[in-house]
Amino acid sequence: MRLAVAQIISSADPAGNLGLIRDYAAQAKAAGAELVVFPEAAMRAFGHSLRDIAEPLDGPWAGEVRAIARELDIAIVAGMFTPGKDGRVRNTLLVTGPGVETSYDKVHLFDAFGFAESKTVDAGETPVTFKLNGTVFGLATCYDVRFPALFTANARAGAQVNIVCASWGAGEGKAEQWDLLVRARALDSTTFVVACGQGDPETTGAGRAGSAPTGIGHSAVITPLGSALVTLGGKPELAVVDIDPSVVDEVRSKLPVLANARQF
């Protein structure tokens, strides 16, 4: 399967961000990709109000993403915000395209490093997997990457690939942690990990929005044995990579960590 990682830098403007999605999705399609993955908060960058732009999955913003996927005949994963409980929003991944339509609400909220996502975001509760052209994918969002159980749950549900969409917070050691975590989750679950982060706003002169996690780049595609097929820097960029999902069965026969695992 050929897939693409679209390391964009979202702005505060949902309409402008749709333009980015169209542009990068068109590039991915031209390169032969069946799936293009965008980061968390592709709808609007963190550091801005989320409540006033959150909308249902059948709302106009998601409808435009669907139209782009339909027009280009490519599957799209993109981070948006949907209405939650008590005036909060849900941090949602929309998955749409030929033969696929689903969504995932971020389970583990980023109440760490001085940021309190739970003040404005309502947590999801359920892992989600989907099948595209015979390959099964699991979904995760940013802080989820620190929790191996979600990745192994997706793997036990049939996932050969785990997608992680992120807007990673900057700070001392954070890039090293991200690189370590995405590789570790591939080994934990013996899946490919497609890790797509927001690019680093400082590479374009925009700078960070206070303590908000606005991205550091470092998107990557990792094999089930923890090796990087592709790694990006901080700037906006599209990476196209071929993966062979059949490798997963081979790896699991050699390294049966899912079969050997015990619960305590």
Catalytic residues, by residue number, are 40, 106, 142
The dihedrals phi and psi of 151, each to the nearest 5 degrees, come to: -70, -40
β-strands 75-83, 35-37 pairing: parallel
Q: Does residue 54 come out as left (phi exceeding 0), alpha (psi in the -120 to 50 range) or beta?
A: beta
Distance from the Cα of residue 174 to its chain's centroid: 17
Strand pairing report for 228-231 and 75-83: unpaired
Beta-bridge partners for 103: 94
CB atoms within 10 A of CB 172: 7
d(CA 77, CA 240): 15
Q: What is the spatial distance between Cα 155 and Cα 160, in angstroms, rounded to a whole number?
A: 7
Distance between CA atoms of 76 and 98, rounded to whole angstroms? 9
Lookup result for tokens 């669907």: 66
d(CA 209, CA 70): 34
- Closest among 39, 44, 33, 48 to 8, alpha carbons compared: 39
User: Would strands 192-197 and 89-97 be described as parallel, antiparallel, or unpaired?
Assistant: unpaired
Count of CB atoms situated within 10 Å of the CB of 145: 24
